[in-house]
Structure 1
Amino acid sequence: MTVDAAMALDPAAQRGLTFAKTNCAQCHSIDPAGPSPLSVAPPFRDLHKRYPVEDLEESFAEGIRTGHPSMPEFHLEPNQIVDFIAFLKTLE
């Protein structure tokens, strides 16, 4: 994401982007284009093609778990969930 694009994000989406950069970008593509650093990790821009990203709120609150052993489990606070979903929606 370019600096200009990041500056255009609303505050919640900007906080969500910061969370994604810190916790997710090592494996997932968090950009509008380009592959994920870890090939089995889906790019975040494709998540909305699988399901409405709003539907992820409960999963984020309960803790994200996957069958992939290298993915850490995350428990997000309610305000983090709102911010992260706001960021994901910018990639739709």
Structure 2
Amino acid sequence: MKRIWSSALCAVAGSLFFGAFQPAHAAGNYPSDPMSVASGQELAEIHCAACHAVGPEDASAQPGAPAFRELGQRYPVSSLEESLAEGIVTGHEGMPEFAFAPDDIDDFLGYLTSLQAR
């Protein structure tokens, strides 16, 4: 599979494939200021909404694509940090591999954390 490098995340579901990682942030300790959360939301809307529900009430466009607001019910959102930095490899066709810049990871996970609290 051709490696795609981007400051986007569409492969959240693929994050279940990594092992024991110690995140740099404690769970829920991502940026919560309005600018960072808005930046994370923009990343989700631009790069992930074609498949995933990225808002507080929308439906996923692709069947089986988990809604971002429900990810915290499946596993700790902070567990995505390493795979976002290293590149997520997914288990099914059509889902690209991504690697994020550190600031994008923080903003994106700040947004994801804000969705879990609603």
| TM-score clears 0.5 | yes
Higher relative contact order (CA 8 A, sep 6+): 2
Alignment partner for residue 83 of structure 1, among 102, 107, 111?
A: 107
Structure 2 residue 97 is the aligned partner of structure 1 residue 73: yes
Q: Specify the code of the residue in structure 2 equivalent to 1:78.
A: P
More helix by share: 1
Aligned residues: 84
SS at match of 1:91: helix
Q: CA deviation at 1:34?
A: 3.1
TM-score (normalised: structure 2): 0.67
Q: Specify the code of the residue in structure 2 equivalent to 1:90.
A: S
TM-score (normalised: structure 1): 0.85
User: Residues of 2 paired with 1:63 and 1:74: CA distance?
Assistant: 5
RMSD (Å) for aligned C-alpha atoms = 1.1
Structure 2 residue 89 is the aligned partner of structure 1 residue 62: no
Give the share of equivalent positions with the same residue, in percent.
45
Runs of 4 or more above 4 Å deviation:
none
Q: Specify the code of the residue in structure 1 equivalent to 2:49.
A: A
Q: Show structure 2 runs of 5+ residues with no match.
A: 1-32
